[in-house]
Structure 1
Amino acid sequence: MSEARQGPLSGVRVLELAGLAPGPFAGMMLADHGADVLRIDRVRAVSDRPRTDVMDRGKHTIGLDLKSPEGVAAFKKLAGKADVVIEVFRPGVAERLGIGPDDLHAVNERLVYGRMTGWGQDGPLAPTAGHDIDYLAVSGVLSMLGREGGKPTPPINILGDFAGGGLMLAYGVLLALFERERTGRGKVIDAAMVDGAALLFSMFYHGVQSGGWGPRGTNLLDTGAPQYDTYETADGEYVAVGSLEPQFWDAMVTRMGLTDLPDRHDRKQWPALKSRLAEAFRSRTRAEWEAVFDGSDACVSPVLSMPEAVTHPHNVARGAFVQVGDVHQPLPAPRLSGAQEPDLSPATRLDDLTSWGLSPEESEKLRSQGVLA
Structure 2
Amino acid sequence: MPGPLAGLRVIEIAGIGPGPFAAMLLSDLGAEVIRVERAGAVRGAAPDKPAGDVSLRGRRNIAIDLKHPDGVATLLDLVGAADALIEGFRPGVMERLGVGPDECLERNPKLVFGRMTGWGQDGPYAHAAGHDINYISLAGALAHFGRAGEAPVPPLNMVGDFGGGGMFLALGVVAAMLEAKGSGQGQVVDTAMVDGTAILMTMFWSMKAAGIFDEQQRGTNLLDTGAHFYDVYECADGRYISIGSIEPQFYAELMRLTGLEGDEQFARQMDATQWPELKVRIAELFKTKTCDEWCELMEMTDVCFAPVLTMSEAAEHPHNVDRQTFIELGGVTQPAPAPRFSRTAAVVDQLPAHPGQHSREILVDWGVAADHVDALLTSGAVRHAE
Pairwise same-fold verdict (TM > 0.5): yes
User: Residues 294 and 207 from structure 1, CA distance in 2 versus in 1: closer, same or farther, beyond 3 angstroms?
Assistant: closer
- What secondary structure sits across from 1:213 in the alignment? coil
| Alpha-carbon offset, residue 118 of structure 1 | 0.5
The offset of 1:21, in angstroms, is 1.1
Show the 5 A alignment for 1:4-23: 6-23=2-19
Structure 2: distance between partners of 1:105 and 1:19: 21
Q: Does 1:343 align with 2:334?
A: no
Aligned counterpart, 2:46: 48
Structure 2 counterpart of 1:244, one-letter code: I
TM-aligned CA deviation for residue 288 of structure 1: 1.0
Using the TM superposition, give the Cα deviation of residue 56 of structure 1 relative to its aligned residue in structure 2, in angstroms. 1.0
Match of 2:378 among 362, 368, 371: 368
Stretches (4+) displaced over 6 A:
none
1:183 aligns with 2:188: no
**CA distance in structure 2 between the aligned counterparts of 1:347 and 1:371, rounded to whole angstroms:** 23
Tell me the residue number matched to 1:244: 246
Q: What is the aligned residue count? A: 369
Map residues 311-350 of structure 1 onto 2, 5 A cutoff.
311-340=316-345, 342-348=347-353, 349-350=357-358
Q: Which residue in the other structure is 1:234 paired with?
A: 236
Aligned equivalent of 2:86: 86
Normalising by structure 2, what TM-score? Answer: 0.92
How much has 1:291 moved relative to structure 2?
A: 0.5
Q: Which has the higher contact order (CA 8 A, sep 6+)?
A: 2
1:66-215 matches, within 5 Å, as 66-209=66-209, 211-214=211-214, 215=217
Cα distance in 1 between the residues matched to 2:138 and 2:207? 19
Conserved? CA contact 1:321–1:331, under 8 Å: yes
> Counterparts of 2:313 and 2:281 in 1: how far apart (Å)?
28
User: TM-score, normalised to structure 1's length?
Assistant: 0.95
1:33 maps onto 2:34 in alignment: no
Segments of 5+ residues of structure 2 without an aligned counterpart are none
1:132-151 Cα deviation digits (max 9, x unpaired): 11111111111221111111
1:216 to 215, 218, 221: 218
Which residue number in structure 2 is paired with residue 255 of structure 1? Answer: 257
Tell me the equivalent position of 2:57.
57
Q: CA deviation at 1:210?
A: 5.1
Rounded to whole Å, the distance in 1 between the matches of 2:122 and 2:377 is 37
Contact 1:83–1:111 under 8 Å retained in 2: yes
Pick from 351, 354, 357 the counterpart of residue 364 of structure 2. 354
**Which amino acid letter does the alignment assign opposite residue 225 of structure 2?**
T
Structure 1 portions without partners, runs of 5+: none
Partner Cα separation in structure 2 for residue 126 and residue 234 of structure 1: 49
Residues 4 and 346 in structure 2, CA contact (< 8 A), matched pair in contact too: no
Which whole-Å deviations, capped at 9, do the CAs of 1:243-292 have from their partners, x for residues lacking one?
A: 11111112122112224262322111111111111111111111111111
Q: Counterpart of 2:227?
A: 225
Alpha-carbon distance in structure 2 between the residues aligned to 1:140 and 1:296: 35
| Residue of structure 1 in register with 2:313 after alignment | 308
- SS at the partner of 1:322? strand
Tell me, what secondary structure is at the counterpart of 1:179? Answer: helix
C-alpha RMSD of matched pairs (Å):
1.5
Distance 2:51 2:86 in 1: 19
- Is the 8 Å Cα contact of residues 4 and 345 (structure 2) preserved in structure 1? no
> Which shifted more, 91-100 or 209-218?
209-218
Cα distance in 1 between the residues matched to 2:7 and 2:305: 44
For the 8 Å contact 1:15–1:39, the answer to whether it is kept is: yes
SS in 1 for 2:222: coil
Distance 1:341 1:16 in 2: 19
Contact kept? 2:116, 2:190, Cα under 8 Å: yes
Report the alpha carbon displacement of residue 341 of structure 1 after superposing the two structures with TM.
Answer: 5.2
Pick closer, same or farther for the CA change 1:18–1:245 going to 2, 3 Å.
Answer: same
**How far has the Cα of 1:334 moved from its partner?**
1.0
Structure 2 CA distance, aligned partners of 1:243 and 1:171? 32
Partner of 2:272: 267
Q: For each residue in 1:121-177, what CA deviation from the matched residue of structure 2 results, as whole angstroms up to 9, or x when unmatched?
A: 011110111111111111111122111111122101111111111000100011111
**How far 1:209 sits from its partner (Å)?**
4.5
Judge conservation of contact 2:165–2:193 (CA < 8 Å) in 1.
Answer: yes
